[in-house]
Amino acid sequence: MSHVFHRQLSHAYPTAVAGEGAYLIDAEGRRYLDASGGAAVSCLGHSDTRVIDAIQQQVGQLAYAHSSFFTTEPMEALADFLIERAPAGFSSVYFVSGGSEAIEAALKMARQYFLERGEPGRHKLIARRQSYHGNTLGALATGGNAWRRRQFEPLLSDVSHVSPCYAYRGQAADESPEAYGERLAMELEEEIQRLGPETVMAFVAEPVVGATLGAVPAVPGYFKRVREICDRHGILLILDEVMCGMGRTGSLFAAEQEGVTADLTTIAKGLGGGYQPIGATLVSDEIRRTIAEGSGFFQHGHTYIGHATACAAALAVQRTIEERDLLARVRKLGEGLQDRLVERFGEHPHVGDIRGRGLFRGLELVAERDRKTPFDPSHKLHAAIKRTAMDAGLMCYPMGGTLDGRTGDHILLAPPFILEDAQLDEIVDKLDATLERVL
């Protein structure tokens, strides 16, 4: 019996022993093509020598220094790198160890900003249904995924949830994308009015919804309208790019494609590419200045803020992506993947929608294609797909419906940016064989 408290306690996991490019290899020598980057993490694959060297060099020199005593060179250099490339308006970076911590920091920073501005009445949050912002209690309360929240509801603080921008199920047959986006913007406006605009602190959303909906971008213009509404009411916009950021959709930040800039942006996963655990919250100059000129102290912190080795790893990951022009590759491979998925599954009776941006793609599975009927969640289709795909040597990221009947099972694909063209075919072939067996 394993003494590890695994996620699935009744399941025997294969033991991963090595990584080689886009593949993971288990103790039996089986190879798995990592078509999901784990959970949209491993953007450079599993054996990048430059990143490995950077980690070894940093550990040899200085592994870690607590952030209440010192700053470090890799932390400063990584912050400089990110701010030089972030949309105008951001001027500092708060480093943490992962996505949930990045969200917690963003929420607390938003609250402290309003306190220091003399607006203590602003504390309410609005987020969206069918969203995921992490599993710590603040982040879980912010997310609107009914399945993830269900057993912890009594522990969760009160957050309002409005509809996500989810054209496949939300846009009416006789409605244009613009009209749909406008309808959702009005829903947000109404919720703000219902709560009282002077009590609302922030609106939180993923530019491209990842784990809960499966790579769903917004309709054109939606985020611009959201930004206008937030600005009109003095509400902060927090964009969660933990999954969709750091190049995954073909631009460094997914929100660049929406033409909007947030007040706080969270990143993680692709930042360190899995070589080290690291996340961050990008902070607008307005927020940084308000806190700097007020108390001068952010009332929050974790032991591993700005971990020197993690920052050195992330810097090497990001420099490699930039110097090898991998975002252009993400855009090209992403189109190739979408074309292949549409060619293979476009007419599949149980594939309702194929969507996404860059190397962030989703397939929504349906029992009845014409009526978009989801599969019964009790069938646990996603679990069978994951197991069968692993047997076929493929890692993909299937998720179940959200239990509220508003979405069905989907499969998320988020392969490394270093993929070879032939590996796109391997993904589609193995996925095809998997669906053939399960559906």
Cβ closest to ligand PLP, residue 138 vs residue 291 = 138
Do residues 410 and 399 make contact, with C-beta atoms less than 8 angstroms apart? yes
CB of 247 to ligand PLP, least distance (A): 15
Cβ closest to ligand PLP, residue 283 vs residue 414 = 414
Residues at the site binding ligand PLP, with contacts judged by CB under 6 A: 39, 98-100, 103, 132-134, 206, 210-211, 240, 242-243, 268
Tokens 């995924």 belong to: 145
Tokens 């980057």 belong to: 37
CB of 194 to ligand PLP, least distance (A): 26
What gap in Å lies between CA 24 and CA 431, rounded to an integer? 17
- Which residue type is seen at 260? V
What gap in Å lies between CA 86 and CA 109, rounded to an integer? 19
CB of 67 to ligand PLP, least distance (A): 19
CB of 294 to ligand PLP, least distance (A): 28
Cβ closest to ligand PLP, residue 361 vs residue 430 = 361
Helices (H), 22-121: 37-40, 49-61, 73-85, 99-116
DSSP lists the bridge partners of residue 236 as: 202
Cβ closest to ligand PLP, residue 98 vs residue 247 = 98
CB of 293 to ligand PLP, least distance (A): 30
Cβ closest to ligand PLP, residue 206 vs residue 353 = 206
Q: Which residue is nearest to ligand PLP (CB)?
A: 99
Dihedral angle over CA of 261, 264, 266, 271, nearest 10: 70
CB of 29 to ligand PLP, least distance (A): 30
Tokens 């309360």 belong to: 141
Cβ closest to ligand PLP, residue 181 vs residue 272 = 272
Could you tell me what percentage of the chain is helix, strand and coil, using 3-state DSSP and rounding each to the nearest 5?
Answer: 45, 20, 40
Listed residue (24, 242, 205, 232) closest to 131, CA to CA: 205
